[in-house]
Structure 1
């Protein structure tokens, strides 16, 4: 026995529209607006990013050199007073035969002995208040040759150096070659510096 026939509705085939119906449908669809219009994504305009022109950098200012404080150089300690020549008036008096306050003869002494004797004599003369003394060195003749120290006139060359040395500058005020009456080139006038309070 055959079953019941299939009662499902068969899909209708769409009839093609004729020319008049197609024109009418087109007219209708043009005038119809949708209830909810389709959302159109906003078009984003892509603007190319142009790199900003780098402003020219100002050259870095050189730091001004800060001047260092000027430190005054320490004053050197006062040196020995300069030697002074004999006064013309005193020299005239000596040339006329005026005598000196004291005299020292270094004939026949070695350099070491003569140096020690000279220092002791001058300090003693200063202590005694003498202003002018005579130091005899000799002219360097054969009889004044120093044993073992060679040559003539050794003391004649050395005594002026000793008199100008710093160790005697507080004692010696000045010196000059003696006049002919006191030995000439073989002797020296030595001005002795007065002690403080005694003047010069």
Structure 2
């Protein structure tokens, strides 16, 4: 008997209907008229395994601990969906304008008189320096003189003179007053001109040259031997623009 040239394919794992290799080498030819049952989804039917006693007991324990929801209520799950992404090209929302009344700030009241003069001369004044010196004359007499109650016996006005003229005039006046036996004389120097526009310069010129030079001259010979006390005058006798000079007694 002659054998047929056509051999019947044998089903193997390579031609299995189920599994990840399904249909990789073409359709499977059934053997003996049997083929695997087909499912609606096209997947292979997997036989179900029966639960063991331990698994069944665990499932019953979980079922007993579960609580039934109220009728008509569904479980509310959190919304994990991402929110809308803002469009970077979208125009910005309009910002409401600030009312004009809210933009006006209260203005602090400005004083009528504003001090514009700035004192940059940090050195103490002549009057302050003289006030720190010890009193050499009688204290009661000094107190009376400081209050303007002691009238000067003579006076000289150096205001308007040059430095050289004032120095010579002061020397002659003091020598004459001491020779006459006078004790209290008044030397008027003036307060000096107001600071010039360059008073804010790094080295401003000192105002009132004679006011600062007279105390220095009175401490030089020959006048230093004649002067006992030097103080700034009371305002009734010129104030900061004049000096009280109390002379020593004539020997």
Normalising by structure 2, report the TM-score: 0.40
Of structures 1 and 2, the one with the larger relative CO (CA 8 A, separation 6+) is 1
- Please identify the structure whose Cα radius of gyration is greater: 1
Normalising by structure 1, report the TM-score: 0.49
